[in-house]
Amino acid sequence: MNQKVKKEATLLVQGYEVVIGFETHAQLATQSKIFSRASTAFGAEPNTQACAVDLALPGTLPVMNREAVACAIRFGLAVGSHVAEESVFARKNYFYPDLPKGYQISQFEIPVVQGGEVSFYLGEEKKTVRLVRAHLEEDAGKSLHEDFHGLSGIDLNRAGTPLLEIVTEPDIRSSAEAVAYAKELHKIVTWIGICDGNMQEGSFRCDANVSVRKPGDPLGTRREIKNLNSFKFMQQAIDFEIRWQIDRIEDGYEIEQATVLFDPDTGETRAMRTKEDAADYRYFPDPDLPPLAIERSWVDEVKAAMPELPRAMAERLVADYGLPEYDATTLTQSPAMASYFEEAAKTSGQAKLVSNWIMGEVSRRLNIDEIAMEAVPVKAAKLATMVGRIADGTISNNAGKQVFDALWKGEGDDVDALIEAKGLKQMNDSGELEKIIEEVMAANAPMVEQFRAGKDKAFNALVGQVMKASRGKANPQAVNETLRQKLEQG
């Protein structure tokens, strides 16, 4: 144990300790915008879903969307935060073409969600990343560069879309940890249904603040990598940034605080602008919005409706079904997968085998056919029956794949009828098996001689012959045992 802790504390890259803090924007899955009734649906014609309130045209007033607040409360409860009885909206002032109103409504000094933590496993090791806060804010519009030659277009549909910005302490110590944290956070927000998690559409965007230091030194100067919207790029970007900073320092330069972008084509990060300080934004409480008051009774109501959370559930799967931590984490990817597992495991009494099938064949087919777990064509009860037939030796694992394939394609839904129709039953009659083995030994006398002369390879060849002679129906383990017995007898 001590060994492990020590190893972690000295996880160094070329003698430097890596320090990372995350800011994640999760788009909240509400029907309408955070302060207006305009729709938040993705993919509409540009500028058809921004209303006067979203643009803060004169004479309009924002009105808080209750559902967005409910999402924030759900999140706060999920990560063990304090949900503030009163929080304050502030204007963050800056100019950018996609923000024609000149300020973004956000929360600054008093956010709605305070503290909390996110835990996950990295290999065998449990890691906990502390959260500083999560605050509600509105999104800005979008600049479009591709469709206009030499010009930029502005699409304001996204203006006013509700976001929850989730900020960590600088607790992350490697790119692998960063990705594991982001995946766990992604799992949490989708699990509790506050975010659709679609990274391509920008529903879950991460900014990674990265610095390096010699162990024991105060925190180094950070650079913030903006808008990481895939886990793969996240790891690449952070790894590049770490190496870049170390090289820079080794060359005798100081790191300058900056905002950088990752270019997937070159695999490099590039400075976009030197970083602003909070003071540059001239935050002040938004005079159009009263403080956000949340009654205890509302928090209690939301709490009562909370589902079992993925980490707690994973720990329960380990305890109740004796699953390895890896399986439990994989199976709790989504509520749909977790409940599919539990139903099949309970029905069959074969938790580990069910887990192998879900992580293997089920996931593989879902991927190929691009089907969501919710729409899996083989129901949990069928998988349970099929797995039960493997466990009791009726069919081999390979025959199970044929049954599964038939179930998947809807060729039938009675497992035993499929086994019968396809002639997949394993030979469990030892007399029949002995007969086949004797025939195979008689027909392959030279191989038998070779084995007896000490050539182990001949054994596998004989097993192959027996399997072939049984047309794949012999139980491989029984073949092994019986064949060895017979060879050693002679």
Per-position b or e across 59-89, b if 16+ CB within 10 A of its CB: ebebeebeebbbbbbbbbbbbebebbeebbb
Closest to 326 (Cα-Cα) out of 366, 359, 368: 359
The reply on whether position 23 binds ligand ADP by CB under 6 A is yes
Candidate residues 13, 167, 255, 469; the one interacting with ligand ADP per rule CB under 6 A: 167
Note whether 279 binds ligand ADP by CB under 6 A: no
Q: Which is nearer to ligand ADP, 211 or 332 (CB)?
A: 211
Applying CB under 6 A, does 19 fall inside the site for ligand ADP?
A: yes
For the bound state, the minimum distance from the C-beta of residue 217 to ligand ADP, rounded and expressed in Å, comes to 11
Q: Which two tokens stand for residue 248?
A: 């820079």
Task: Based on the shown chain and the rule CB under 6 A, indicate whether residue 100 belongs to the binding site for ligand ADP.
Answer: no
Stretch of residues binding ligand ADP (CB under 6 A), selected from 209-217, 248-256, 330-338, 406-414: 209-217
247 contacts ligand ADP (rule: CB under 6 A): no
Q: How far is CA 156 from the centre of its chain?
A: 30
Counting contacts by CB under 6 A, is residue 278 touching ligand ADP?
yes
Reading the block at residue 78, the tokens are 């999920």
Residues 348, 391 contacting (CB under 8 angstroms): yes
Q: Cα separation of 70 and 65, whole Å?
A: 9
Q: Taking the alpha carbons of 46, 50, 56, 60 in that order, is the dihedral positive or negative?
A: positive
Task: Return d(Cα 437, Cα 259) in angstroms, integer.
Answer: 72
Spatial contact of 433 and 474, defined as CB atoms under 8 Å apart = yes
Q: Is residue 170 at the binding interface for ligand ADP, with CB under 6 A as the rule?
A: yes
Q: Among 104, 203, 209, 355, indicate the residue that binds ligand ADP (CB under 6 A).
A: 209
Shortest CB 154 distance to ligand ADP, Å: 25
- Of these, 16, 17, 21, 113, which contacts ligand ADP (CB under 6 A)? 21
- 3-state SS, residue 386: helix
The distance of closest approach from Cβ of residue 300 to ligand ADP in the complex, given in angstroms and rounded to an integer, is 30
DSSP string, 123-141: TTEEEEEEEEEEEEEE---
Do 210 and 332 touch, CB atoms closer than 8 A? no
49 binds ligand ADP (CB under 6 A): no
Name the one range near ligand ADP by CB under 6 A: 206-214, 294-302, 388-396, 482-490.
206-214
Interface with ligand ADP (CB under 6 A), residue from 92, 222, 311, 473: 222
Our finding on whether 219 is near ligand ADP (CB under 6 A) is yes
Pairing mode of beta strands 223-228, 258-263: parallel
State which residue, 219 or 312, has the beta carbon closest to ligand ADP.
219
Q: Name the segment binding ligand ADP (CB under 6 A); options: 167-175, 192-200, 296-304, 481-489.
A: 167-175
Residue from 168, 190, 385, 396 that binds ligand ADP (CB under 6 A)? 168
**Contact with ligand ADP (CB under 6 A) among 20, 129, 337, 433:** 20
Counting contacts by CB under 6 A, is residue 472 touching ligand ADP? no
Is 92 among the residues that bind ligand ADP (CB under 6 A)?
no
Distances, alpha carbon 284 to alpha carbons 86, 135, 455, in Å: 16, 15, 84
* Stretch touching ligand ADP by CB under 6 A, among 19-27, 118-126, 339-347, 428-436: 19-27
Around 405, how many Cα atoms within 13 Å sit in the side-chain half-sphere?
7
Between CA 292 and CA 107 the distance in angstroms is 10
Euclidean distance between CA atoms 151 and 141, whole angstroms: 16
Q: Which residues bind ligand ADP (CB under 6 A)?
A: 19-23, 167-170, 209-211, 219-220, 222, 278
